[in-house]
Each structure stands twice: as structure tokens, then as C-alpha cells.
Structure 1
Amino acid sequence: MRSARLSHDLSLRPSASQKQNQNQTESIAERICFAVASVRPGTPYSPYDEIQSQWRTIMFKTLTTLTLTLLLLTATICAQSNGESKAFRPAKSQVTAAQQQLKEGGRYSGPVDGRYNDDFRAALKAFQSENGLEANGKLDQETLEKMSIDLTDSQKGIKPAKSGRRVFRVNKTQIAEAQSILSGSGKFSGEASGRYSKELRAAIREYQSEAGIRRTGSLNRATLEKMGIELTEAQSAIPVDPKDLEASKPRGSRGPVFRALKGQITEVQQMLSRKGLYSGEATGKLNPETRAAIKQWQSTNDIKTTGTLNKETLVAMGIELTDRQKQM
């Protein structure tokens, strides 16, 4: 029993090497404490000065790193906050207008309900791709402007993303002038309000088709120039989009589009009325009844049935042409 206890006591005693390490540690600790305790202001140099210098260096680097990290984090949060606050969101009425326009252009066949759907996004991407915009399937500011859809007051305060491409925009006066021109040719029967409408877009597409330019339903530079409408200085600085002229290539070099004047249309309506082909009023506008009567007259007189008053039809009817029409 005693031998076992003695063996246990001996096992608890430190070995010679452990005692040596312990003595060395205590010696180093005593030296550091002595060095720290013996430091006095004004002493030329001491171990404490070196420790303090190293400590200051570590603290300076740590504080600098923390400060830069906080500044970077703050800048990132501010940038995200500004981006979120200025996110462009189209109104429901704008989505509806875009759906209607894409539907009229044959790109979209879904519901016109002011809501996004897969077919609408696909139609937007196709429109954006054809008009040189980023094909993201979103109704952003540049897409709305390209579609000539009015922006809200809050949207006008949001600057579009910088890009090398400038968007061509028409003013109210130019739209009203185009409406008058289309009305004079019988393609448009609405008022010259200076605002886009479904009927106006249809008339513009009809005009563009006859003029040999791309059917967009919007008044781009190519269409305004074809109509003879004066451009503003800002518009003149924006070149014609080559895509807007693609439709005219197969037709070759065409001159100005032949347009019948309101007086000529009135005279034709009166003549068709006397022949019993037209029962409406002589309004000077090419309404559906007038077009149907013209087609019937053209068919009877072996003229290409178009339902429009082209040069050949007016001459055959004995309607006097203007000097400009004679040169076409």
C-alpha cells in the first residue's frame, strides 16, 4: 500500500526537463516585468519602448484596415440604395399601350391587360433587337421612348443609362402636322391633336408601306423626312436609322409618295355618287365606303384595284393634277 502511494507521489513530481523549462519561462517573465517596471520617462531606450512601438504599429494598421473596410461598406450600401430608389418601373397604362402597339405590329398575340407575361417579354425582346436597343425584355425608359409612349412626371426625372445611341423623339407639333398630312391623303380621319392613337399608328404604317420604308407605326426621322416635315436641331443631329430604310431597298429608288388632296378626294366622291357607286357625303376623306367605291370603279375601268387615289386613277377619272403630282 505504501509503495503504491509513493509511486503515485513520484508521478506527480515534475521531471528535470520540465523544471528547466519552467525556470526559463519564469526568468523571461521576470525580465519583462522588470523592464516594464524600470521604464521612466526620458530614458534613452528600454525594452518597453520597443514593445510599445510594436504595439502602436499593430494598432495603427488594424485601425486603418477597419476604417477602409467601413468606408467601402458604406459606399456599397449607398450605391445600392440609390440604385433601388431610382429603379425604373413602367406604369400599368404604359404596359397596356406597349402590348397594344406590339399586337398591332403582329409581334404579340396575348391579352392587353397591362401585365407582364412570357409572350409579352418575348415580343419586347424582338422589338428591342430590331430597334438597336438592349434586348432585355423589360419596358425601360429607352424602349418607351422608342415606342413614343409618354413618360410620367416621375419617370422624366430619371436619367436613362448612358449609351452611345440617342433616341429620336418627335414633338407635339410634328405629330399634329403628320396627322394633317395623313388626313389629307385619306389615311387618317381623327383630329390633329398632336398625340398618338391607335388610328394614327395604323395610318402611319399604311403611309410607311406605300413610301417603301419600314412599317413601325411611329414617326421616326425617315418618316418625317418622307413627309416633308421639318426637323429640329436636336433631331437633325441624330442620323437616320439604317433599319428604317430597309423596306425601301427592294423597291429601288422611289420619289415622293403620291398623295391625293382633299379637294381631289371630294371631287372623286361627288363623281362616284353621280354614278351610284357611293352614297356617303363628300367629306374629302378616304373612308371605307369611298375606298370600296374606288375599287369598284377601278375594276370596271381595267385599272389595278387598290382602293386608293393614285396618279393613274385620278387621270382616268379626269381629275386635274397639281404640278407636283404631274412630276411624280
Structure 2
Amino acid sequence: MKRLLAFLAVLVMAFSVYAFAETDDGDDSNPEPIMAEEGDDSEPVPLEAEDEGDDSNPLPVDMMEDEEPVEQVEVMEFRVLQFGDEGDDVLALQTRLQDLQYYTGNLSGRFREGTRKAVETFQEDFDLEVTGVADLRTLSILFSLNHRPLRYGSSGDDVKELQKSLSELGYYKGKISGNYLEATRKAVETLQKKNNLEVTGVADADLQDMILEGRILGKSEKPDDTNTPAPNLSNYLVDDNDNGVMVAEEPVAFEKKLKNGSSGKLVKQMQERLAELGYYEGPISGNFQKYTTRAVKAVQTQNGLESNGVVDEETWNIIFNDSHIVLPDATPKPTPEPTPVPFHIVVDVANQVTSVYGRDENGEYTVPVRQMLCSTGMKATPSDVGDWVLNGRHSTWCIFPKWGNSYARYWTRINSSIAFHSPIYTAVSNSAMKISSYNKLGQRASHGCIRLAVWDAKWIYDNIGAGTVVSIVEGMAPDPELRDALKLPPLDKKYCTPISTPVPTAEPDYSLLNKPDLGKKTLHEKSDCPEVYWLQRTLKDMGYYDTKCTGKMLKKTVNAVKAFQKDHGLYASGTVDQKLIDLIVETALGTPVPETTPAP
């Protein structure tokens, strides 16, 4: 029991802390990470926060005055549990599964096949993704339950208790066998019909609570005989509006998010209110489970909110404080048009470039806003390829205690395993950057995270919010011009700042008709001059060139020239002379360009 209580305490802490780890030498390491459930509003634990009575030395803090407090991302004792794990937390998991009749093996503290199958069965019973992995959502529901769902084929002492209750209520006349067979199923169905509940033949946790609390009509009872108390409406006033919904004289304050797996007096208060509004017909149990989730989603759908079943502040205020709430049988409010997300981020693994795109006049993400060299995961430990939606979590500093207390700045979460952040630091100090980590930008160097220069990581931290899609993409074409344009300045090793920050050279004025006069000169690979900039801009407008116009002729510019030459029946040499310049202008304009008469 002590182990179980300790595990529950750690479980509570896990909902307010998320974590993953990085190597001391600057390589991001991703053992099974612990993340709070999506939508949870928990924050990282500040480095300076210590348990009461902890006499450990605080970590050093050396920050600029205008920075936020240091926050910690650390691996907790509690973890996601899966096949192969061992420890007291596994023992607590097995004990709880055994209490609910899912696990019949030895309480060994070792996560083996029997434990995995028990977790899978539990997940299937509660409409969770059946993975056999005890993640935070699975654990939160498991440890908040009073009963397991009972259905045809179930057996055990809890089935006996159900049969006794059904017998006392007049629904069951069979043997108290502990086996949930056809007679028990029919008795449950009859009870559900009598009490205006969904007829499933399954005695789920909510139904068992209702039976134990005496809020179920016996088979011979009439509705007027029920002892179920009516909701207490003494704190509500009638507002003068079309639907006459009662609201409190003083607004009912929102305290915290509620969702599937939550429990306590706030859930009970919400269930009472939902029942009063006609959205909820389940037990007033204080346990946020299937029927409560269904009722919350119905409120959200009727009132034009996102139907996610989570009671945030907006949903809470609709339920308790809005006298104009749309009731179940009324015409639903239209769902408002969502505000478009301003940016889309593409991480190009092949070129080690992170690009931020804004929206064009058609609403498409095509306008380059910022492009940055980065370090993605090494080939043995690649970054998570795919599309990821940011949830807005970030921290000015994070710590990776498992790997020698290495640190990083401007941490922005991508998914449960990886994030954008700065190069690695050896201490919480602006001058403690590992120069080797900075020098690796532009190369695969991490165990999955996307590292950026400090100023680029800060830009992401300051400008990129929740809802932004990050696409991590393998296999894009080489882009040497872009990489060359994004070269990073050398660092002052003492202060970890750029040795010099030259003012960027302004792009030359461009006009198609202001064609270069090469004379006898030719442009070829590695040419670096304004004529190359004109060439790149013109070929880009014609669709032959699709990257940054730098004024430096590298492989992608050469390939664009070759493609133009092939399309016009010329030898694809990749070099440019005056004749080719004239042909490019003529093609772009669609008319021959008159010869320029030389001055006498």
C-alpha cells in the first residue's frame, strides 16, 4: 500500500512536468519521454523550485536581467511503463490492474507479457488506443476508477456484487455465480431501460456507482418513488432571456481544466449543472468518464466550440455563467471560422535548413519569412519525420540532468520527444555555450532535436505559437546556394557572441531590361558578382530557379542554366555568355531584343 501511495504521488507530479533528455556532449537523447497529456496547461518546473526540506545546492543562475526565470525540463522517477520495464511503479500498476480484475499474474514488479495484455484489455474497455503501453492517459484513468466495466464474459467477485445488487433491485433472479452471462446481461439491459439510460448490457463504472449510491430505480418502483435529490438551484437566478436559463448571481469561477480521468468536487458540481441543463443523464459521481465526456462534447457542439470533451475556461463559462447557452434541443450556434495560423515551418533534413513561411494572398504558406541553418538528428538517431502541431509550450532555459546536467536556451516543444532549442550549454550562463555544438550547425549532430543558433532559437520562441505546423522532411534536393547564404559568423569564445555582425549587403536593384553586359566574359560555377544575381532573379521568374538569389553561382544555378539551355536546343554547358543573356531576355519578354548600337 505504501508503494501504491508513493506511485500515486509521483503520478500527480507527472501531470505538471514534462521531460526528455540530451547528452552531455551536446547530442539530444530521447529515451521514453514523459510529457503531460496534450491540452494540459502544466508548466515546466523552475530550476530554483525545491521540495520542502531539500538541502541540495541550488543550480547556478547567471542570466540577463530581462530574461524570464529559468525553467527545468527533467526526467521524473515516474515514467511511461512498457514491456521490459521493472520497478515499484510497475508493481503499483500490476496491483491496480489486479484490483480491477484485469491482471491475474504474480505481483513481480516486472512488465512482461501478462502485464502488457492486461493493459491492452483495460485500454480496449475505455476506448483508448490499444498499445499495451501504460501512458499518462491510461494511468490517469486507471487510478481514478472505482470499478472496471463488466460485460458478457466477465467473472470475479465484482460480478458477484453486481448480481447481488441486481437481485435486491428485482432485476436478476439467477444464481450469484460471479459469471456475467446471458441472464446478467438481460438484467442490466432491463435496468437501463427502466432508468432511461443507454441500453448496452454493459455495467460500466458509472452505472455501478449509480447502483451503489442508491440512485437506480428498482424494477417495481415508479419514477416518483426515487430518492434521487433534485439539483440545488438556490444559488441561481432566472435571467430575462428567451430560454430562461438560470445563472448564478455571482459568476462561478473557473479553477482548472477538467477532462476524462479527472475527479473531485469540481467534476461533481459540473455534472449537476449539466444534468440541470438537460445535457447529462449519468451518475453524479465526481468521476469524469464516458457519459460526462459525451455531455461536454454536446455542450461544445451546440454552442459553437471545438468539440474536444475538455472543460477549459471558455467551456466552463458557457456551462455556468452564460444565460444564453444553447440547450440540447435548440438550433446549434455555427462554429466560428478559426483564425489562420500565421506561419508554417519546414525542417529540411537534407540541407540542414529550417525555413519559416508566411501566408500569401491565396492563404498558402509560400512566402519565406526566415531561413536558418540547423542541426537535426544523426542518421542513427534521426529527427521525427512528419507533420507536428505545436502546442505552445516553451521555456527560456531547460536542463537535461540525465546527461551530465547539460542545458539549452529557448526551448520550443515540437512533440513529446523533440524540440527546437539553442546549441548546448554547460551551465545556466550566457557565456557557457559549447562552441563545438555551435560549429556543428548545418550538420546532423543531435539525437532528434532541432538545434538553431541562439538568435534563431529566440526568434522561434518569440514568434511561433500553438497551432503552427512543423514539417520535418527528408529527401529534398541539395541547395548549396541557400546553405552558402546562411553561413554563421564565428563566435567570440569568451562571450559566445558573434565576433562581428556585418550589416547585410542590400540586394541589387533588379530589372529584366537592365541586362548585364558581359562582353567576352562568361559566368560559370563559383562566379560571384551582380550579374549572377540578375541571372538568378530572371531564371527564378521564368521557373527555372527556386531558391535564394545570392549573387553566387553554385550548383543549383548551374543546373537552372543547363535546363534553360536544353529547353532551347543548346548544348547544356551550364556556362553563360552574352548570347545566352540576350536569349534569356528575349524568352522572358516573348519578343526579340533589339541589338544595342555601340557608341561611336
Provide the TM-score with structure 1 as the length reference: 0.31
**Higher fraction of helix:** 1
> Higher strand share goes to which structure?
2
Larger Rg, first or second structure (1 or 2) = 1
Q: Which has the higher contact order (CA 8 A, sep 6+)?
A: 2
